[in-house]
Amino acid sequence: MNTLRYILLFILAAGGAIAGKHPVKSASELYRAIQTAADGDTILIKKGKYAVENITISKRLTLLGEGFPVLDGQFKSEIITVKSNEVHIEGIQFENVPQTSMIDYAGVKVIESEDVIVRNNRFRNCYFGIYLSATSHSVVTGNDIAGTPREEQTTGNGIHAWKCDSILIDNNRVTGHRDGIYFEFVTNSAVKNNYSSRNIRYGLHFMFSHNDWYEYNTFDNNGAGVAVMYTRKVTMKHNRFINNWGASAYGLLLKDISESHMEHNLFRSNTVGIYMDGCSRSLLGKNEFSGNGIALRLQANCDANILRDNNFIRNTFNMGTSGNTTYNTISGNYWDNYEGYDLDRNGIGDVPFRPVSLFSVLIERVPQAMMIFRSFTSTLLERVEKIIPGITPDRLMDETPRMKPVKPASFDSNKTNV
Amino acid sequence: MKKYLNITVSAVLIWSCTPKTEAFNYGEDQCAFCKMSIVEDRYAAETVTSKGKVYKYDDISCMIRHNRNMETKDFAFRVVNNFDHPEEFLDVNKAAFIRSDQYASPMGGNTAAFHTAETEAGSAVYTWAQLQEIFN
């Protein structure tokens, strides 16, 4: 037994000796260290500025920055391209990656690898910040990514993942890119605790990415909000979608989404809180819609969705729709402009509530009609319509509206468990 | 006087109905099919109906899918941005299209339009009619 223990100890000690450290102070030392280092080595980059170009890492290395050394791409090419499993990049500032028309240059690009960690780095003026291509079981966490787009259409995405599986995007800050976080063909992955703001197009953009979940993220003041498209089985919980104003802006655009869960989210101060187009068999529960232009736009091509236990507070319009959508279940929501009564005191209003108002139907057909909104005539028409529904979809209603709002959700991942 | 007024009014009405193409307002305009905002000029496309309604698209595949229920007589113009000079419109019937993974367009149509095109490795040149069959 003892012999075995000594053998084990020896192997461990040898392993420790093999995993060497290479402190570097200049760009040429950095290149040499990457060339000579063995699998499992650590390259310690000391504080300073390094003018570098196109570093390819094709062994299992750890790149560790001390006091945020700056790797400056000088607007010439990509900075680091990872083509090996088990690469770890931490504590480095990446700067100045050029924008090109054919190649998507990034601060850090990972190609066809596994078990890669990109942690606590800074990205400044990069065309793409972190780019994961055909990569799996990898982690991107604690990075601070800021782009400065010279022109709207000439900036890449902050964190870009394409054809990936089982990746975690956690606790990053992204600003000033085209899409803050972009997923295309990414499966079984998580986006958590990120803060994505002031990006040109979307704070988060999902396409063809099944079985993913995102929670405790904040998407604030992005060009067009967040878009989740052509995807099955997405879970979105405890996210905040705020301050997305503009003619084509949404808090959340759901296009061709099915079998998904959206719960405990906050939609505040958006032109449209959620825009649902071609969605089916999804649950929207316990979300809060407050201070939006239109809280929820449900297009007529949506079916078998459940809208339950949500709070609608201080929205100009609760719901808009492009037809007589009756294939969805709406029940037990709180509508702040509900004027019914609750004689049996069970907390549920005794008369149904119709969330689509006359005016939201009217501006759907004639947008200019907005001019007479909140005038005496419009109030009168609205009253008449409530008593004798003629134009509004009469079967689209909440038969069990709540008298009091549902308890609001928490957005701090440390305090609650999902 | 009234006669002139009538003429002016009808002239204005006719003028306003004349179909014409419209420049893209990148970052603001929305794709009529997939609802994404249009940011990449190299892949943008536009359909103008004979009644003068302008539909803009972020991807050539979106244009074909959105147009599939319309008839040829409904179209006044169908144009695509020239990949090499995105500020230039090309008529879809005159353009040459290349499909390749190199052209990562917003909705995965991966198709770019050119004046004239030569086949490169890993890509193929298509006409507008051939593209219809691929995306429809």
Give the residue from A184, A199, A187, A168 showing the smallest Cα distance to A229.
A184
Taking the C-alpha atoms of residue A200 and residue A371, their distance in angstroms, rounded to an integer, is: 30
pLDDT tens track for A53-72: 999 999 999 999 999 999 99
Q: Which residues pair with A272 in a beta bridge?
A: A294
DSSP state of A372: G
Rounded Cα distance between A76 and A197, Å, is 27
Kind and range of the H or E element at A130? strand A128-133
What's the pLDDT tens digit per position in A111-121?
Answer: 999 999 999 99
% of residues, chain A, pLDDT over 90: 70
DSSP string, B18-42: S-------TTT-B-TTT-PBP--GG
Element (H, E) at A123: strand A122-124
Interface check for B133 against chain A (CB to CB < 8 A): the answer is: no
Whether A17 shows a pLDDT value over 50: the answer reads: no
B42:A200 CB<8 A: no
Alpha carbon distance B14, B27 (integer Å): 31
Are A322 and A276 contacting, i.e. CB atoms less than 8 angstroms apart?
Answer: no
Residues found in chain A:
418
d(CA A197, CA A174): 6
- Given a cut of 80, is residue B35 above it in pLDDT? yes
Per-residue CA distances from A137 to A62, A118, A120, A209, B3 (Å): 17, 12, 18, 16, 77
Q: Please judge whether B108 and A153 are an interchain contact, meaning their C-beta atoms are less than 8 angstroms apart.
A: no
- Residue A104 to chain B, least CA–CA distance (Å): 10
Average pLDDT of A185-213? Answer: 94
Q: What percent of chain A has pLDDT over 70?
A: 93
* Residue A302 predicted with pLDDT over 80: yes
* CB nearest to B30's CB, from A102, A200, A248: A248
Torsion of CA A209, A213, A218, A224, to 10 degrees: 30
CB neighbours of residue A336 within 10 Å: 13
- A200 at B interface, C-beta within 8 A: yes
Tell me the shortest Cα–Cα distance from B95 to chain A, in angstroms. Answer: 20
Q: Find the mean pLDDT for residues A79-106.
A: 92
**Chain centroid offset of residue A412 CA:** 16
Write the pLDDT tens digit of every residue in A306-334.
Answer: 999 999 999 999 998 887 667 899 999 99
**pLDDT computed for residue B17 by the predictor:** 67
